[in-house]
Structure 1
């Protein structure tokens, strides 16, 4: 099952995508995950979204993180210039907070390793 990120995050998601995945990373964050590819065990729904995006020919990259990984993240880590923390880019007090709330609730039901954020980026 999947939820479109933009239903939950109505703000500028790019600074968060930079610090999480290195996408459009002009901010200089060390990404938490890069180049993981499409999840082998993706749901039928996520596979359909991937196909609607044009599949591997039109998707620039696919990256994912589990709730368990996010739970061990140092949110006070700064970008390369030392001017922004992960928390300021994608922490609970940003538009990403709703995403984290949903993932937290789902992890209580399904387990932290079984809840993940998947980012598909168009070429």
Structure 2
């Protein structure tokens, strides 16, 4: 069973002369519709196979969440049950804007990166924690996994298996779907301020 993300963009603004309050801006689903565990791990510590130091993990629902987002989440919880969601958290645009995208993960990826030999060189074909061909070649029992030093690699047939330490920009790429989220947050921040724009998210399996 896979893990999916949902959430909302919010901004904080003055309302009728009262104290600033958070308002719902846009459903995350209108901007981002991919299941990407590397990004989930890098940003929020969910399915963090790549061993990143998460930017914003486990913060829970903001105590001052906007009325619209709070009501929407309550509605979903009623439909799917209180245990239907997990890893609720949030991150501000100020935090995203300050990210060092070249920062490496804390340890090599728990999955070996797989490359296929072609006449034009190596082509990445996937990542896996356990592969039967690789396991047989190195003598692993069925389902057994190990941590391998950075740069370790094995050529099995036409497939190269390599232990890789990812960088944040490998998980959240400059041309990937998260860029539409960042663009929307950046536009809101230009009007309301970097600390007054945030993304509230939750996950379901």
Interval of TM-score (by shorter of Structure 1 and Structure 2): 0.7 to 0.9
Shift of residue 78, structure 1, vs aligned partner: 1.6
CA separation in 1, counterparts of 2:32 and 2:171?
Answer: 12
CA separation in 1, counterparts of 2:67 and 2:48?
Answer: 30
- Indicate conservation of the 8 Å contact 1:92/1:100, yes or no: no
Larger Rg: 2
- Indicate conservation of the 8 Å contact 1:88/1:94, yes or no: no
Shift of residue 13, structure 1, vs aligned partner: 3.4
Whether 2:170 is the aligned partner of 1:88: answer yes
Could you tell me which residue of structure 1 aligns to residue 98 of structure 2? 72
Question: Please, what TM-score do these two structures have when normalized by structure 2?
Answer: 0.55
Which of 36, 54, 71 is residue 59 of structure 2 equivalent to?
Answer: 36
Larger % of strand: which?
Answer: 2
Whether 2:139 is the aligned partner of 1:57: answer no
CA separation in 2, counterparts of 1:92 and 1:48?
Answer: 33
Could you tell me which residue of structure 2 aligns to residue 15 of structure 1? 38
- Indicate conservation of the 8 Å contact 1:75/1:91, yes or no: no
Count residues in correspondence: 123
CA separation in 2, counterparts of 1:116 and 1:45?
Answer: 14
Flag structure 2 segments of 5+ consecutive residues without an equivalent.
1-23, 109-163
Could you tell me which residue of structure 2 aligns to residue 106 of structure 1? 188
CA separation in 1, counterparts of 2:88 and 2:60?
Answer: 5
Larger % of helix: which?
Answer: 1
Shift of residue 101, structure 1, vs aligned partner: 0.4
3-state SS of the aligned residue for 1:77?
coil
Flag structure 1 segments of 5+ consecutive residues without an equivalent.
none
3-state SS of the aligned residue for 1:64?
strand
What are the superposed Cα offsets for residues 15-62 of structure 1, whole Å, 9 maximum, x if unpaired? 211100101111211101121111011111110121122178223221
CA separation in 2, counterparts of 1:64 and 1:13?
Answer: 17
Question: Please, what TM-score do these two structures have when normalized by structure 1?
Answer: 0.88
3-state SS of the aligned residue for 1:65?
strand
